[in-house]
Amino acid sequence: MAAITAAQPRSSKTESYVDNKRKEDIRQANINAARSVADAIRTSLGPKGMDKMISTASGEVIITNDGATILNKMEVLQPAAKMLVELSKSQDAAAGDGTTTVVVIAGALLKQCLSLLSHGIHPTVISDSLHKASTKAVDVLTAMAVPLELSDRESLVKSASTSLNSKVVSQYSTLLAPLAVDSVLSVVDPAKPDMVDLRDIKIVKKLGGTVDDTQLIKGLVFDKKASHAAGGPTRMENAKIAVIQFQISPPKTDIEQSIVVSDYTQMDRILKEERNYILGMIKKIKATGCNVLLIQKSILRDAVTDLSLHYLAKAKIMVIKDVERDDIEFITKTLNCLPIANIEHFRAEKLGHADLVEEVSIGDAKIVKVTGIKDMGRTTTVLVRGSNQLVIDEAERSLHDALCVVRCLVSKRFLIAGGGAPEIELSRQLGAWSKVLHGMEGYCVRSFAEALEVIPYTLAENAGLNPIAIVTELRNRHAQGEINAGINVRKGQITNILEENVVQPLLVSTSAITLATECVRMILKIDDIVNVRPNIHSRKANPTVKFQDIYGFTVEDNVDDVNVLNEAREKARQQGHLKTSLKSSSLDVCSQEQEGKVPPPQEMREGYKLSGNLKEG
């Protein structure tokens, strides 16, 4: 009786064991993949960080230490690792700077999470604790911040310089930082003082010279020369500028067709009509007083012909052709004019006015410069120069980061110290706060605090200093109340970073911590990866057409030639189409091919005749 009782199945209430091994493995794989991405760019952090040379599939070479650029060019396949690439893009969109910092912090947090998970703490508990810690961290940073006024140009320049000091073009920071500040301040709209649209700052790259030759231009710059055909003018004072979106060339038919002209008198008549058509357009343009034409690039037909350029030169109208469609909005905003889409709408009130439009030689190349624009919109242009394309591209990326830093200060007017000072102070204060918390939360917050030390540790490591000694000394200084003590990588010691003018916007640090925490919480919550593959049986394609694509003939063709059938079957096998799915029960051959049983040509032929047509698999 006792034996029978023992053999009965156990009650469901006592079945508490669940195999979580797969979930743990998936979570660990995700964390390790994301950490490997963070470790790849960790050496690029800080002013003494290393640069990466990226060679793309097309043979293009990029040299940069900008985190967002490096990750954007990396072909990351693992889904969790892709999240870190997206994280860097989010930081670039939110703050513009700190794209390496945010990924390094996320990597350090994931390392701490792995340790907490191994101690048996549930992922949800860790996730909630990280959220609390990041909210507290933002409050601590805000309390540390120093308010700033936009009239304090010197502080804005210091902040832009700090951003540029970690770039390849750091030696030019004294030139690029003031240039970035001036360009952002010139486009701030008094009606919306907290908003800056960086699309109002156009960066034009021109090969030649050095980065020292980079200049801010109050006006417009076109990276192309004026049209010289038929001796047209290349300099125009008191310019009246029109931006046109139509073509000054003979019209074409709406559909592609050819007209055959066999009679010379008819040919002369066509040419005469073309001349009259173009001349009529140019007379209308000249009647408005316009003397500079900006012609949008056309994809339908030639925007201008040699004949129209000849007549425009006779009329003393300066022509700049092939203006990109994307630039039209910026140009019209700058010139305070309207684009003209049709010759019938050409009016004097739609023109822009400038004191001077001239073609300028820069090294071997030429550019067109428009200056002295009347009623100019709130835009500005930066002409970036460099000895080679790699330097120019990196200068543009660095300048973009500096512009973003100034934009952050316009939208949130607070500065904090750099050099690892805020991270160590956060680590100290969160460590003290964790002792007040109860249960698992305290452990999780303490791990969060330890993870933030990765920034000063990495800064010291990349600068060739002893990271353990530096971070220990930094902790000691902060414990004594020196909240602005940070790592001075130039002197290789701990100093008051604010006095060294190493400052950054508050928004960069708060955004980095918030976004990194969000990303880590998301990775923690994932316990499985489900791969969804397309179902070949669900395709609703035309089976006869599909068959024709594979074999080169349809069922209705009734092909009898054995050699043709053999060739078709061999060709299909080489192209990998033998896995196409159709039922063999209906004498259709493709399913037999799928199983590796390819019927002889005679059976194929008989099968086609009997089945009449192919059925969907």
CA distance 436 to 211: 53
Which residue matches tokens 């005469």?
Answer: 272
On the CB side of 508, CA atoms within 13 Å amount to 30
Nearest to 130 by CA among 157, 112, 148, 143: 112
Radius of gyration of the chain (CA): 34
Residue 41 has pLDDT above 60, yes or no: yes
Give the model's confidence band at 257: pLDDT under 50 very low, under 70 low, under 90 confident, else very high: confident
Q: Is 544 a catalytic residue?
A: no
- Cα dist from 87 to 42, 229, 412, 460, whole Å: 15, 51, 21, 24
Mean pLDDT of 275-283: 91
DSSP secondary structure string for all residues of 1-57:
-HHHHHHSPPPGGG------HHHHHHHHHHHHHHHHHHHHHHTT-STTPPPEEEE-T
DSSP secondary structure string for all residues of 298-367:
-SSS-SB-HHHHHHHHHTT-EEEEEE-GGGHHHHHHHHT--EE-SGGG--GGG-EEEEEEEEEEETTEEE
Q: Is 253 a catalytic residue?
A: no
Residue 2 has pLDDT above 90, yes or no: no
**3-state DSSP helix/strand/coil percent for the chain, to nearest 5?**
55, 15, 30
Catalytic hit among 380, 401, 510, 588? 401
Catalytic hit among 43, 64, 69, 100? 100
> Cβ distance 293 to 229 under 8 Å?
no
pLDDT given for residue 201 in this prediction: 93
Q: Reduced to 3 states, what is the DSSP secondary structure of residue 64?
A: strand
> Cβ distance 513 to 105 under 8 Å?
yes
Q: Is 142 a catalytic residue?
A: no
Catalytic hit among 43, 99, 214, 510? 99
Residue 577 has pLDDT above 60, yes or no: no
Beta bridge mates, 320: 294
pLDDT tens profile 154-209 = 889 988 998 888 888 889 989 999 999 999 999 988 888 888 888 899 999 988 88
| Average pLDDT of the chain, as a whole number | 83
Mean pLDDT of 254-283: 86
pLDDT tens profile 64-93 = 888 888 888 888 888 889 999 999 999 988
CA distance 342 to 241: 16
Q: Reduced to 3 states, what is the DSSP secondary structure of residue 74?
A: coil
CA distance 248 to 320: 13
pLDDT tens profile 389-411 = 889 998 998 999 899 989 888 88
Give the model's confidence band at 533: pLDDT under 50 very low, under 70 low, under 90 confident, else very high: confident
Q: What percent of the chain has pLDDT over 70?
A: 83
Q: Is 401 a catalytic residue?
A: yes
Pick the more confident residue, 560 or 610: 560
Catalytic hit among 66, 92, 327, 588? 66
pLDDT tens profile 118-139 = 988 999 999 999 999 999 999 9
> Cβ distance 205 to 215 under 8 Å?
no
pLDDT given for residue 277 in this prediction: 92
